[in-house]
Amino acid sequence: MANQSSGAKKSKPANKPDQRQAAKLEFRDRVLAQLGLVATVTARAMFGGY
């Protein structure tokens, strides 16, 4: 039991960085998409609603 639990703890941190990196990339994509929407909306407002 002790060996299995320690093994599970050792295997989890190896997977966490990948999940965190994927989450960061997904978050970055969302932010860029939102910034793009904001930029288009502000551009439309500035240039008369094209």
Report the pLDDT value the prediction gives residue 4, as an integer from 0 to 100: 55
Domains: count for the chain:
1
Tokens of 3: 């060996």
Helix, strand, coil: what percent of the chain each, to 5? 90, 0, 10
Asked whether residue 29 is assigned to any structural domain, the reply reads yes
Query: What's the rounded mean pLDDT across residues 18-32?
Result: 93
Confidence check: pLDDT of 50 > 90: no
Asked whether residue 6 is assigned to any structural domain, the reply reads no
Asked whether residue 12 is assigned to any structural domain, the reply reads no
Tokens of 45: 């407002």
Q: What domain range includes position 25?
A: 17-50
Asked whether residue 38 is assigned to any structural domain, the reply reads yes
Asked whether residue 9 is assigned to any structural domain, the reply reads no
- Which pTM was predicted? 0.49
Tokens of 20: 């965190």
- CA 26/CA 20 separation, integer angstroms: 10
- CA 30/CA 42 separation, integer angstroms: 18
Asked whether residue 42 is assigned to any structural domain, the reply reads yes
